[in-house]
Amino acid sequence: MRYLTAGESHGEALVGILEGLPAGLKVDIDFINDMLKARQNVYGRGSRSSVCRDEARIIAGLNDGVTTGAPLAVMLNNGNCGNKGNFDFYRPGHADYAANIKYGLGDAALGAERASARETAMRTALGAVAIGLLKELGIQVTAYVTQIGQAKANEGPLDEKMMCDVSSVESLKAVLDEAERTGDTLGGKLKLTISGVKAGIGSHVFYDRRLDYRLGGALMAIPAVKAVESGLGCDFAYSLGSRVADSFVNTGGKISRTSNNCGGIEGGISNGEDIIFTLTVKPIPSIAGLKTVDSCGNECVTGKVRGDVCAVPAACIVAEAVAALELAGAIMDTLGGDNMNELIERYKQKGEL
Ligand code: EPS
């Protein structure tokens, strides 16, 4: 499975092609649009999200709402979302400067057209299709906010607007509102969990078939994500090996573990436990009053540019989508199957000890 996206933030539309889906998968357009809506409506988004409503149109690859094995093509009109930014300064931390140097665009605002998180709308739409495929195999993908700025969230039932435990919404909202009030932005952390994945997906035999390489790369490629940790992640550095080993137990013939520090992946292969990643998202760099230079190299300060206050809640939705795309691709690589019946049958057969 592979996918491509095209489209600028203030161009006519985003388009995406997802290739390699088995035939016979029912594509739920309402679910795709629910995910798009969630990505736009969560806390932290700027004013653009309230003027621009994403609605996906599938223009190829379906017969009566079911995949045929042909590439799926999806389109998202940008609608009346404003024009390309008209500013001549580089936002420190944004792609503006590096993109201009790389492509010689001669325009400080042009690189942002493609670097914009706008593009994640299409990854979300395509990822929603992959989530549909994974559901058929009994696999669930969920992500939630664990921290915004200094405010940490508990684990518990999800509030869909903050993408965090309901009991933590007020404290997270307070730090978000304060950042917005002062014209600043905030980063944070989110936790991604994929449950229901059988052991044996991915491979240790070559780097680019490792499941952690594939998932880690896709998650790292979400705009503003600066760190991706698998399982216990950075905390492995402080621990004795004997303390963090995920010991095996045999309960009436069923093999399981006493802990899941490896985050469901050992040797680049799923091990049957939940797959767990933690992502660190940096604060959005569209902030007025920062020292910078203009496109001629003259020192100046950044001005106000429309943007989001915090990308962490929205990144939860995008993380679910890109992880689903990658996992579905890895499952197809491991098991193959030209149609859903074949795939489901092969997944059922996937061995246990
Ligand atoms: C973004 C800037 C804002 C955000 C945008 C990401 O857009 P605009 O330049 O139109 O104000 O709203 O995110 C989206 C449009 C989206 O759909 O996620 C940026 O500079 O990255």
Protein residue whose Cα sits closest to atom 3 of ligand 1: 307
- Please state, in angstroms and rounded to a whole number, the distance separating the CA atoms of residues 345 and 5: 31
- Using CA positions, which residue lies closest to atom 15 of ligand 1? 118
Tokens of residue 275, six digits = 């797959």
pLDDT-flagged residues of the chain (< 50): none
Residue 305 neighbours by CB under 8 Å, 6+ apart? 85, 87, 91, 286, 288
**CA of 335 relative to ligand 1 center, distance in Å:** 38
Identify which of 8, 9, 286 to mutate to test ligand 1's pocket (most ligand atoms within 8 A of the CB). 9
Are the C-beta atoms of 76 and 347 separated by less than 8 Å? no
> Ligand 1 centroid vs 61 CA: distance in angstroms?
29
Instruction: Give the DSSP letter string of 221-268.
Output: TSTTEEEEEETTGGGGGGS-HHHH---EEEETTEEEES--TTTTEETT
Distance 248 CA to ligand 1 centre (A): 47
pLDDT digits (tens, 9 = 90+) for 186-198: 999 999 999 999 9
Distance (Å) from CA 223 to ligand 1 centroid: 11
Q: What is the per-residue pLDDT for 28?
A: 98
pLDDT of the residue at 47? 87
Query: Which residue out of 308, 309, 316 has the highest number of ligand 1 atoms within 8 Å of its CB and is therefore the one to mutate?
Result: 308
340 C-alpha to ligand 1 centroid (Å): 36
Mean pLDDT score of the chain: 96
**Sequence-ordered list of residues with C-beta below 8 angstroms from that of 314, at least 6 positions apart, any chain:** 39, 40, 42, 44, 45, 117, 120, 308
Task: Give the residues surrounding ligand 1 with Cβ less than 6 Å away.
Answer: 9, 46, 48-49, 81-82, 85, 112, 116-118, 120-121, 286, 306-308
pLDDT tens, 231-252? 999 999 999 999 999 999 999 9
The predicted structure's pLDDT at residue 206: 97
pLDDT reported for residue 80: 84
Cα separation, 284 vs 115, whole angstroms: 12
Give the residue whose CA is nearest to atom 19 of ligand 1: 116
Q: DSSP labels for 40-63?
A: HHSTT--THHHH----EEEEESEE
Q: How far is the CA of 116 from the centre of ligand 1 (A)?
A: 6
Residue of 81, 86, 87, 116 to test ligand 1 pocket, by largest number of atoms within 8 Å of CB: 116
Ligand 1 centre to CA of 307 (Å) is: 6
Using the mean position of ligand 1's atoms as its centre, give its distance from the Cα of residue 214 in Å.
26
Query: Can you give the pTM of this predicted structure?
Result: 0.97
- Cα(8)–Cα(338) distance, integer angstroms: 33
